[in-house]
Amino acid sequence: MQTSKALGTVRRAVPNLADSVAGLGVAVLVLVAAGSRAGARLPWIDDPRPLDAAAVGLAGVAAGAVALRRRYPRAVLAVLNAAALVWSAAGYPGPLVPLVPLIACYTLASLRGWRWGLAGATVTALTAMASIRLAFGAGVPAGITGSAMWMALTAGAAGTAVGYNRALLVATRAQLAREAQTREEQSRRRVVEERLRIARELHDVLGHTMASISVQAGVGIHLIATRPAQAVEALSTIKRISDQGLTDVKTILGILRADGDEPDRPRTPRGGLNQLDALLEPVRAAGVRPELNVHHDARPLPAAVDLAAYRIIQEALTNVVRHADARTVRLDLRYEPAQLVIQIRDDGSASGPGGADGKDGHGMSGMRERAAALSGRFTAGPHPDGGFQVRCVIPTPEQA
């Protein structure tokens, strides 16, 4: 573990190839400019000191500092300013040496922000003024000090602008990535919700259809020998229920095959409280006497509320036929100003489709989920006076 950390520290300390090449290029330019005729005949240096090993060493220090400027920007700023000061104090020629600290000033501002950029520009400007004083003595040319300060401030401002631009790009990319991830998660969630919705529809349609068919088939078997006419009627009912169930299943499966080019395709099998008679007929055929009570004036409901109420009643009546062993079932619909109240109570056994509390089973879960999806409340369980009761309250915001 310690070896890995040490290797990681070494790798972080080693500059990359581009920075190394930049540092080497700076050193070469400084030495070439200082050794050329232009560098040896600068008008403000009367007797320049010839280049020697110390000058090459200073150039090497500057090269190494430039190569490491991104990793240690503050230390590099100090080193390059010190190298420029020593170079001027030693009397070496070199018109490019005062410009080298500007690289560190720019890098510090781009990496650490405007505060460090201002500090670096101030240090660089003061160092340049000291270097000019050492190089010229009392005869400093007019305007050269102001130029040095202006270049230091320009380097700091340019680095600050580049740093803020980089930070803005990083923040923008991060925001775009978060938005893309959010869209992807929302898309996955919509897919899951759609699958659950289709599963509920299939469960309700198939459960109701198969329960009705089973009841009618039992009636037909029982009556086929003694009362053939009623048996034929039961078979006709089976055919009608089967046809309707197949139509609903085809509608649901068509959603899975649709590619979005058919905006008029219904997304759910048609159903609503105006079709309650079709739900009560199989209940009567099963030998259970239904009683429908509508409180207050019935009114059109939002499509989602209408379909959810229909499916909840359908599933509750199917459970009565399959599980309750009841003789009667009472369906109460109460149209209140801001909500619809549904209550289904039978006089059979007090256990629901999932046991004594009626909390288990896909049917109960589906009814509960339909109500919750519309901010409604759903309860199911044994009634104190006997039998089993399902109660659901669904807000109707469009009428609120």
Edge-first strand order for the sheet with 377-382 is 289-295, 328-336, 339-346, 388-395, 377-382
Of 63, 68, 73, nearest in space to 96 by CA: 63
Core vs surface per residue 355-382: b (16+ CB within 10 A) or e = eeebeebbbbebbbebbeebebebebbb
Q: What is the CATH number of the domain that holds 384?
A: 3.30.565.10
CA–CA dist 257, 268 (Å, integer): 13
Give the Cα separation of 310 and 303 in Å (integer).
11
Residue 322 lies inside a defined structural domain of this protein? yes
Report the pLDDT value the prediction gives residue 113, as an integer from 0 to 100: 85
151-154, Cβ contacts within 8 angstroms, sequence gap of 24 or more: 151/99, 151/102, 152/101, 152/102, 152/105, 152/121, 152/122, 152/124, 152/125, 152/128, 153/121, 153/125
What separation in angstroms does the CA of 359 have from each of 25, 315, 320? Answer: 78, 14, 15
Distance (Å, whole) CA 30 – CA 38? 12
Which residues, including other chains, have CB under 8 Å from residue 106's CB and lie 6 or more apart? Answer: 155, 156, 158, 159, 162
- pLDDT-above-90 percentage for the chain: 13
108 part of a folded domain: yes
Q: Looking at the domain assignment, is residue 53 inside a domain? A: yes
pLDDT at 345: 93
Domain boundary among 115, 141, 167: 141
Per the structure, the count of domains in the chain is 2
DSSP state of 72: S
Look up the domain containing 356 and give its range.
Answer: 287-400
Q: How far is it, in rounded angstroms, from Cα 27 to Cα 78?
A: 17
User: Which of 120, 141, 162 is a domain's end point?
Assistant: 141
pLDDT band, residue 307 (cuts 50/70/90): confident
DSSP β-ladder status, 339-346 and 289-295: unpaired
- Contact of 317 with 269, CB cutoff 8 Å: no
Does a structural domain hold residue 33? Answer: yes
Yes or no: say if 95 and 147 are a contact pair by the CB < 8 Å rule. no
Does 254 reside within a domain? no
Using one digit for the tens of pLDDT, what is the confidence trace for 314-363?
889 888 887 778 899 999 999 998 999 999 999 887 665 544 444 455 67
Q: Report how far Cα 212 is from the mean position of its chain's Cα atoms.
A: 45
Say whether 201 sits in a helix, a strand or coil.
Answer: helix
pLDDT in tens, 271-290: 688 888 888 887 887 788 99
Average pLDDT rounded to a whole number, residues 147-169 = 87
> Of 10 and 105, which is predicted with more confidence?
105
| 231-235, 243-247, 332-336: which is most confident | 332-336
Element of type H or E holding 12: helix 2-13
- Token readout for 366 is 């589906």
Map tokens 């340049």 to a residue. Answer: 128
Please check whether residue 300 lies inside any domain of the structure. yes
Q: Could you give the angle at the alpha carbon of 89 between the alpha carbons of 83 and 93, nearest 5°?
A: 85
- For residue 387, the Cα-to-chain-centroid distance in whole angstroms is 47
What pTM does this model have?
0.48
CA angle 105, 111, 117 (to 5 degrees): 40
> Is 40 inside a domain boundary?
yes
Q: Tell me how far apart the alpha carbons of residues 59 and 65 are, in angstroms, rounded to a whole number.
A: 10
Is residue 14's pLDDT more than 60? no
CB 63 within 8 A of CB 24: yes
Reported as type and span, the H/E element at residue 54 is helix 53-67
Strands 377-382 and 388-395: antiparallel
Q: Between 356 and 300, whose confidence is greater?
A: 300
d(CA 334, CA 164): 63
Predicted confidence (pLDDT) at residue 196 exceeds the cutoff of 90 = no
pLDDT band at residue 398, thresholds of 50, 70 and 90? Answer: low
Residue 204 falls within a domain, yes or no?
Answer: no
Domain boundary among 110, 141, 172: 141
The CA distances from residue 312 to 98, 195, 331, 342, 350, in Å, are 84, 18, 12, 9, 19
Unique residue bearing structure tokens 């339909």: 370
Contact 107, 70 (CB under 8 A): yes
